[in-house]
Homo-oligomer: A and B are copies of this chain.
């Protein structure tokens, strides 16, 4: 297995995992993955100020998990499933490391027999 780890992907990993570490943001992401929503529409769903929700959307946008599209005075947010998949692939990489450990242990057991 080939693993490429550059500074840039570490930065985006930081941003993505951080964005996902808040339940309000995960909920927003769920909604915008299901379909486009304006920031105001999203804000109406939560028991906090518009500004707070707008900041959550901005965090998701900076992490690349969401993109916005202007439509008149509205800003329509849409979830980026590619970005979600890239996070999943980071976890797959970790699982791959674990499988390597298991393979080594099994090789050792075979050696002992």
Contact surface of A with B, Cβ cutoff 8 Å = 10, 13-14, 17-18, 20-23, 26, 29-30, 33-35, 79, 81, 84-85, 87-88, 91-92, 94-95, 97-98, 100-101, 104
Contact yes or no, A23 B13, CB < 8 A: yes
| Interface of A, helix, strand, loop or mixed by DSSP | helix
Q: Report the copy number of this chain in the oligomer.
A: 2
Contact yes or no, A95 B88, CB < 8 A: yes
Interchain CB contact (< 8 A) of A101 among B20, B35, B91, B95: B35
Known A13-B23, A17-B17: A94·B98 in contact at CB below 8 Å: no
Known A84-B91, A94-B29: A14·B23 in contact at CB below 8 Å: yes
